[in-house]
Chain A
Amino acid sequence: MITVTGQCVAAFVFGTTVGVLVQRSRWCNTAALRDAMLFKSYRNTKALLVGMMILTLGFTGFITVGNGNPMRFDVGLNQFIGLFLFGIGMVLAGACTVSSWVKTGEGNIGALWALLFLIIGMFAFSLVWSSTYWPPAPAAMTGQPNLSGLQFGFADALTLQQKTGIPAIVFGLVQFAALFGLYRAILRKERAMQEARGQVPAATSRSSSSRAPAAMPETAVGAAMAGGAGAGGSLQEEA
């Protein structure tokens, strides 16, 4: 059993390593979704999928043998609605929870501003929650469906294993295969795009310019939006 101090030290060492790796790789979760949707650019998306594949095997593997600390709280519509709002916010801010810390560490005042208002947003929600008590506090959750609270109960690889008797790793392998299929589909799409560019460069050039924002060429927007330097604020700096 690890002590509280040990937990905090382990978390800090992990966080520091993540900070170094994300800063050096210019990886960004916001870009993983936004660039795939807007620019058909998958650099960050592929890395996200590789990470998820490794984690799926690791987590479900250890859950199978009774190890690990899975998150436990009821699942509800609040997860969909909350992350929907979060998704809009991260694209507007040009940074997610990871890149806002990483970019702040690089000296980006816009990212620090995003963090400040993220904290203000959390505090504002705490005031609203104290009147509505929705969604239910994790301590009040039972793991059973509570439809009046828009909660569906609790389910994960461990509950699947307990209810079906099938090892969690089997379900993990199914999810791994689905993620790998998505990864391969992206690779195929990238190859097709490269071939199309090589065969008809003039047509590609025309279609690119017609889709790009008027203020800057698409390549510049894509590079600026790829999350390399700065929250949304850095877009014009790089253009």
Chain B
Amino acid sequence: MELFKKTLDPIIALAIIALLDVFLFLIVGAWTVGGGETMIAGLVAKYVLGAKTLARIPFWSLVFTPTWAYWKIYISLGMGFGAFVAAVLSKEFYWRVPRHLSEWVMITIGGLLMGIGIRMSFVCNVSTFFGLTPEMNLGGYLAVSGIVAGAWVGSLIYKRVLEA
């Protein structure tokens, strides 16, 4: 199949994704990832700590009550599954492991900042660009301003690290 033999133009890919996102918006809500990841975090915490311990943390009862019946979880799982299938079919699946300690440190700090940022703002990059802003939500414009400023600062840090 041609799709798995050569790289797809990202403009075509994003145009198709946008059209599908419009349909998702009609039936359940716009594409988002952070909400599903938060629910996964809650489910993992429930498994590791136990339901009683987790119930003592108000966030997990007032904001997110862990449940598998939350549609946003399945967007994230679907993305991983779809990418795995595409990578296998295009013979691009192979294990890649960061080689340097500095990479592990940057990925660790980056992951933590993303997690904290999503929860503080109630939105992720996907709901910023593919949900809130196209809905012309004021929060989308604030979020775009924040992510652009953050990416600029992050790029300066990243460049410094690469040059070191």
Which residue in A25, A135, A175 is a CB contact (below 8 Å) of B120?
A: A135
Contact A214–B163 (Cβ < 8 Å): yes
Q: Could you say which of B45, B77, B83, B138 contacts A123, with CB atoms under 8 Å apart?
A: B45
A97: min CB distance to chain B, Å: 4
- Beta-carbon contact of A172 and B136 below 8 Å: yes
Enumerate chain A residues within 8 angstroms of B142, measured Cβ to Cβ.
75-77, 79-80, 83
Interface of B is mostly: helix
Cross-chain contact B136 with A85 (CB below 8 angstroms): no
CB contact list, B116-152 vs A, under 8 A? 116-139, 142-152
- A10 an interface residue at 8 Å Cβ cutoff? yes
Bin the interface of chain B by size: 35 or more
Is A33 interfacial (CB-CB < 8 Å)? Answer: yes
CB-based contact B110/A98 at 8 Å = no
On chain A, the number of residues with a Cβ less than 8 Å from chain B's Cβ atoms is 133
B87 touches A23 (CB 8 A): yes
Distance to closest chain B CB from A129 (angstroms): 5
CA distance A7 to B149 in the complex (A): 35
In the complex, are the beta carbons of A12 and B75 less than 8 A apart? yes
5 contacts between A and B (CB under 8 A): A18-B78, A18-B79, A38-B155, A86-B121, A139-B62
Q: Interface of A with B (CB < 8 Å)?
A: 2, 4, 7-27, 29-30, 33-34, 37-38, 43-44, 46-48, 50-52, 54-56, 58-60, 62-63, 67-71, 73, 75-98, 100-110, 113-127, 129-130, 133, 135, 137-139, 152, 154-158, 160, 168, 171-172, 175, 213-216, 221, 229-237
